[in-house]
Chains A and B, each alone.
Chain A
Amino acid sequence: AQSVTQLGSHVSVSEGALVLLRCNYSSSVPPYLFWYVQYPNQGLQLLLKYTSAATLVKGINGFEAEFKKSETSFHLTKPSAHMSDAAEYFCAVRGGRSNTGKLIFGQGTTLQVKP
């Protein structure tokens, strides 16, 4: 079975500082990994996804993530935080031929950006 663990339920950074949100996965098959962002009272928006191509994945809004099989990690980064980045971030995994396409989400990380 697949699962993801997000380390740190709350991350606070200053505007302009590096953003690092951690995600570790567990999967018995090559995983498909995703990062989503959720603004208050809204659905989820896809930031980026890893589907076994390049290990460094670039997404929207300046975010990127690197797939590291040896560390079973898929951490999300952004070089310089903006106030508008404040939101809830979810890492998710989907994989395996027996899987119906459903996503398994991590616990979520709240990103706070201080002026």
Chain B
Amino acid sequence: GAVVSQHPSWVICKSGTSVKIECRSLDFQATTMFWYRQFPKQSLMLMATSNEGSKATYEQGVEKDKFLINHASLTLSTLTVTSAHPEDSSFYICSALQGGGIYNEQFFGPGTRLTVL
């Protein structure tokens, strides 16, 4: 199956710093990628839909100025958590939609554990 990678797999940072997380589709092109957030023992909550070459679409309640998303190529989307605070500590998971159809399969990355001190 198709492979999606995330980098880094974990990161610890100080409060107030910014952290960038990369999501790559390794063997397919993805015009659409999704960013999810998962708190311990909870479900995945969609943060935003990332479209190559256009602005991301954020879900209600997600601060777009805090969670910057860039989808500069068909294989790479980045999520930057700006001025991170302890409450931003979470497990961030991306997924990539294979092909252009919205009913195509979505492949998930392994996740990035962010800890803000």
Hey, which bits of chain A sit against chain B, CB under 8 A?
32, 36, 41-46, 49, 51, 90, 94, 99-108, 110
The chain B residue with its CB closest to the CB of A32 is: B103
State whether A100 touches B43 (Cβ < 8 A): no
State whether B42 touches A107 (Cβ < 8 A): yes
Residues from chain B with Cβ under 8 Å of A110 in the complex: 41
State whether B44 touches A90 (Cβ < 8 A): yes
The chain A residue with its CB closest to the CB of B38 is: A38
State whether B111 touches A41 (Cβ < 8 A): yes
State whether B102 touches A99 (Cβ < 8 A): yes
**Assembly CA distance A45 to B109 (angstroms):** 9
- Whether B81 is near chain A, meaning CB under 8 Å from some CB there, is no
Residues from chain A with Cβ under 8 Å of B49 in the complex: 100-102
Known: A32-B103, A43-B93, A44-B93. A102 touches B111 (CB 8 A): no
Residues from chain A with Cβ under 8 Å of B103 in the complex: 32, 51, 94, 101
State whether B110 touches A90 (Cβ < 8 A): no
Known: A43-B93, A90-B44, A108-B42. A101 touches B108 (CB 8 A): no
Partner of B106, one of A42, A90, A101: A101
Task: Write the B33-58 contact mask toward A (1 if CB under 8 angstroms, else 0).
Answer: 01000000111111001000000010
Return B29 CB to nearest CB of chain A, in Å. Answer: 15
Partner of B108, one of A43, A49, A100, A106: A43
State whether B46 touches A43 (Cβ < 8 A): no
- Given pairs A42-B111, A100-B32, A101-B106, 9 additional interface contacts (CB within 8 A): A42-B110, A43-B4, A43-B108, A43-B111, A44-B108, A46-B105, A51-B103, A100-B102, A103-B46
- Whether B97 is near chain A, meaning CB under 8 Å from some CB there, is yes
State whether B43 touches A43 (Cβ < 8 A): no
Known: A100-B57, A100-B102. A45 touches B108 (CB 8 A): yes
Return B53 CB to nearest CB of chain A, in Å. Answer: 15
Residues from chain B with Cβ under 8 Å of A94 in the complex: 102-103
